[in-house]
Structure 1
Amino acid sequence: MELLLETVALFCLKLAYETEGSSPILRDDPIMSDYEREVFGLLVRRGDVEGIQVKVGECVGLALKAIGGVDKPLGRELGRLASELAGIQTMEQLHGPLIALKDYLKDIL
């Protein structure tokens, strides 16, 4: 689960900050410090669904801003997927929406 969360964060930050011709953002990039696997691992071990939603929501918010918000075609779907994740109540329910979010972010990168 931690790797999946880190991947979602990485893809969001790539959308928000990576520019053509610049070095790619990698997992060990300083910008990832608040979203690295260990941070998510702690939240997962605690069963902190709300904390996970906040962290992912921060990243998705940056990605949404980068692609023009929820009024744009790419943003509408990203917003929908983020809303699904925000409605999750248990750790067991997180996996499916996270996979969908990761796959969508990967497709639009």
Structure 2
Amino acid sequence: MELHLETVALFSLKLAYESEGSSPILRDDLVMGDYQRDVFELLVRRGDVEAIQVKVDECVGLALEAVGGVGTVLGRELHRLAAALSAEQSMERLNPPLIALKNYLRDIQ
């Protein structure tokens, strides 16, 4: 799960901050500091669903702005997938919406 969380953060931050012709954002970049796998690993070990959702929402919010907000086709789908993740209340149920969100972010890169 930690890898999926880190990947969602990475793809979101790539949408928000990467520009054509610039260096790509990588997992060890400073912008990823609060969203690295070890940070998510600690939250998963604690079972802190709320903190995980807050971190994912921060990144997805940036990605949502980058695609033009909820008024766009990409934005509406991104918002829907993020809302599905935010609605879950247990660690066991986070994985399916997390994977869907990760796959969507990968596809719109």
> Under TM normalisation by the shorter chain, which class is it?
over 0.9
Aligned to 1:106: 106
Gaps of 5+ in 1: none
- Say if 2:4 is the partner of 1:4: yes
- Residue identity matched to 1:77: E
1:30-109 alignment, distance < 5 Å: 30-109=30-109
**C-alpha displacement at 1:86, in angstroms?**
0.6
**C-alpha displacement at 1:59, in angstroms?**
0.1
What is the RMSD of the two structures over their aligned residues, measured on CA atoms? Answer: 0.4
Instruction: Return the alpha-carbon distance in structure 2 between the equivalents of residues 80 and 13 of structure 1.
Output: 18
Quote the sequence identity (%).
Answer: 73
Paired residues, what number? 109
**C-alpha displacement at 1:3, in angstroms?**
0.7
Instruction: Return the alpha-carbon distance in structure 2 between the equivalents of residues 75 and 10 of structure 1.
Output: 17
- Residue identity matched to 2:51: G
**C-alpha displacement at 1:8, in angstroms?**
0.4
- Say if 2:5 is the partner of 1:24: no
**C-alpha displacement at 1:82, in angstroms?**
0.5
Gaps of 5+ in 2: none
Instruction: Return the alpha-carbon distance in structure 1 between the equivalents of residues 37 and 102 of structure 2.
Output: 15
Tell me the secondary structure at the aligned position of residue 10 of structure 2.
Answer: helix
4+ runs of 1 displaced by more than 4 Å?
Answer: none
TM-score, with normalisation over the residues of structure 1?
A: 0.99
- Residue identity matched to 1:91: M
**C-alpha displacement at 1:76, in angstroms?**
0.2
Instruction: Return the alpha-carbon distance in structure 2 between the equivalents of residues 20 and 2 of structure 1.
Output: 28
